[in-house]
Structure 1
Amino acid sequence: MNSAQRFNWQRQPMPQDFCGGFVDRLQLDDGLTLAYCHYHPQRDLREHSIIERDVRSLTIAIALEGNSVTCASDGSQYPLRAGHSTVALFSHARGERFLPAGQQVRQLRLIVDEPLMEQYALTGLLDDRKDDHRVHSLFSGQHTPGIQRLAERLASLHGQTASALELQIATLTLLAEQARLLSSQRSTPRALSGTAQDKLLKARELIQQHYDQPLTAGWLCMQVGTNEFALKQGFRALFNTTPYRMLTAIRMDHAWELLESGLHVSTVAWKVGYQHLSSFSAAFQRFYGRPPSSVSGKRQP
């Protein structure tokens, strides 16, 4: 009997020819779940995800090895590479994770439901955020050596003859350290007024509607009534990205779909707002790590 069976890890295997990996989940308590992910994709992997929960959850994703990028449905990007973490609060989320072929990816995820956050006196992390079915990014970036050590400890316990108590203690220690770091960041909050948020949401809507046009930050500012500094700072605070990166993510998502449908690269470049094929090819290569010509589909007549 292996450790996954002994401690009720629920394994979700991936098709061997597609990914060559697995995701193990362990429910340590009501509202407290630990997941260990180990991917080794043989080809580029685009993993679609739809999360529908009854309550909000604090989700901590820690990259132990390898790189991935998660693109949310609103265009926000969450790159996750070794030594980095993302922390988010949400109940509903749609998006997809991209993992390039030929690399090993190991990630640890800790999911804490809101009722348990209240029990652990972590409600300060919620602030006044409402459950509006949006992903609220609390942190994205390089984590501390302490977080790294605690995460590696948990990963090692996954494959050892460890007791459930050891796993729970290690998990709660990691949660406590992450909560401490997040609480320290709350001392300098970036508050946005309702009017400012409305302008930012309108700007995002314009990007989603007119991604195939030569958009500029100046044009967006004119349409919503703000300035470039407020626009860029607001996007970082509300969407955890910049207007340019959101526009690029939306264009690249549409470009991939069009390429898979069989359209030629030059046609796709024009349809997603690039006037020059070379600029599109370079942007696609940076975003996906591969040229657009490598995405095949049934050619249209």
Structure 2
Amino acid sequence: MSTLKGSCRLGLDQARERSVLADGRLRMQLSEDLGQCHSELFQLEQGLSLGRLHYHPLRPLIEETCGPHDGHVMVVTIGLQGKSGFTGKDGNHLAFEAGHTTITAFKATPGERRYQANQTASQLRLVIDEQTLRKYVGEDRAAQVLGTGHLHRLDFRPSSQAAQAHAAALVRYLQPGLLNPANRLDLHIHTLSLLAEQFNLLAPQDSISSALSSSDVERIERARNLLCEHLHQPLTVEYLATAVGMNEHKLKEGFRHLFDSTPARMLLDMRMRKAMTLLESGQQVAQAAWQVGYKYPNNFTVAFTRYFGRAPKSIFGKKR
């Protein structure tokens, strides 16, 4: 570690304290002499991870990096507080700022991260590798975005309301004690919804690019968010369309093009997956039914059995 004109430079060869927390997240902590500076990474599935960065250095900090992610990745960074910057060895510069979304694609890229003294930089990161991105969006659209592997800034723009809402939910679930199996479904839903919003703005499908504007896509994403956030309520297409300011036909067409589903089918999928998680965590059938919008347990039992091919009583209290 060296000091240059009041700044602190942390080289690649200098140790960072690494630890694996009880909930499985990987934590990297800098020396307390530098201030409160740490980052965490949690793997949701193979090739898809969530990261949280929180740096508050006591002096201007320059941290050398070679890119912490293996292979070719796309990274969506939501700025939560403050700002920081990255300058690659090739001269490319990236900015990360509160209230803004930065999207990049790269392979391991050497460079320097820069943080201001006595200023907090807090960011949420979604990291998806090439293979997983291809699985979700197809080879052509993934290749369109990922490029050749050189550092590529795909976008830097103010975060949408939907992105901020998903980020707030994910930050909440990443708090100590909340990163548990009972919350994994919600964690996945918010992560994939955030990814879908950003990717559809970057590389809209040809079939919808002329029919749906970016504001239309955001409205449709907000409608899906409402489904996710209000599983216990009776939601209709009419209500969703009114809530997001879109006519019913266009909303249904948007769901079909963006998600290959309908609002009713997506609501059923979300409810059944949530119910499965609740039952596996030990909740009784009536409790699970009420939390996913079924007033009468018998109706829930019929819907659950039709969906999964087995009765909810066969799941209650069991762990996978």
TM over 0.5, shorter chain: yes
Structure 2 distance, partners of 1:103, 1:47, is 15
The residue correspondences of 1:1-301 to structure 2 (distance < 5 A) are 5-51=21-67, 55-123=71-139, 124-127=141-144, 130-131=147-148, 133-159=149-175, 161-162=178-179, 163-184=183-204
Q: Secondary structure at the match of 1:181?
A: helix
Larger radius of gyration: 2
Q: CA deviation at 1:54?
A: 5.3
Give the structure-2-normalised TM-score: 0.53
Q: Partner letter of residue 116 of structure 2?
A: P
Tell whether the 8 Å contact from 2:106 to 2:146 is kept in structure 1 after alignment: no
Q: CA deviation at 1:178?
A: 1.2
Question: Cα deviations across residues 202-247 of structure 1 (Å, max 9, x unaligned)?
Answer: xxxxxxxxxxxxxxxxxxxxxxxxxxxxxxxxxxxxxxxxxxxxxx
Aligned Cα root-mean-square deviation (Å): 2.4
Q: CA deviation at 1:157?
A: 1.2
Tell whether the 8 Å contact from 2:82 to 2:119 is kept in structure 1 after alignment: yes
Distance 1:19 1:30, change over 3 A: same
Unaligned runs of 5+ in 1: 189-301
Distance 1:95 1:185, change over 3 A: farther
Distance 1:129 1:80, change over 3 A: closer
Q: CA deviation at 1:82?
A: 0.4
Distance 1:8 1:184, change over 3 A: same
Unaligned runs of 5+ in 2: 1-19, 211-320
Q: CA deviation at 1:143?
A: 2.2
Question: Cα deviations across residues 50-75 of structure 1 (Å, max 9, x unaligned)?
Answer: 02765311111111001111111121
Tell whether the 8 Å contact from 1:122 to 1:179 is kept in structure 2 after alignment: no
Tell whether the 8 Å contact from 2:130 to 2:142 is kept in structure 1 after alignment: no
Give the structure-1-normalised TM-score: 0.56
Q: Partner letter of residue 74 of structure 2?
A: L
Distance 1:21 1:171, change over 3 A: same
Distance 1:26 1:129, change over 3 A: closer
Tell whether the 8 Å contact from 1:9 to 1:24 is kept in structure 2 after alignment: yes
Distance 1:122 1:89, change over 3 A: farther
Identity %: 31
Q: Secondary structure at the match of 2:108?
A: strand
Q: Secondary structure at the match of 2:75?
A: strand
Distance 1:13 1:129, change over 3 A: closer
Q: CA deviation at 1:7?
A: 2.6
Structure 2 distance, partners of 1:100, 1:54, is 28
Tell whether the 8 Å contact from 2:53 to 2:122 is kept in structure 1 after alignment: yes
Structure 1 distance, partners of 2:72, 2:170, is 24
Q: Partner letter of residue 25 of structure 2?
A: W
Aligned to 2:220: none
Tell whether the 8 Å contact from 2:145 to 2:202 is kept in structure 1 after alignment: no
Greater RCO (Cα-Cα under 8 Å, separation 6 or more): 1
Q: Partner letter of residue 172 of structure 1?
A: L
Q: Secondary structure at the match of 1:63?
A: strand
Question: Cα deviations across residues 92-141 of structure 1 (Å, max 9, x unaligned)?
Answer: 2111111101111110111101110111025414228653x411221123
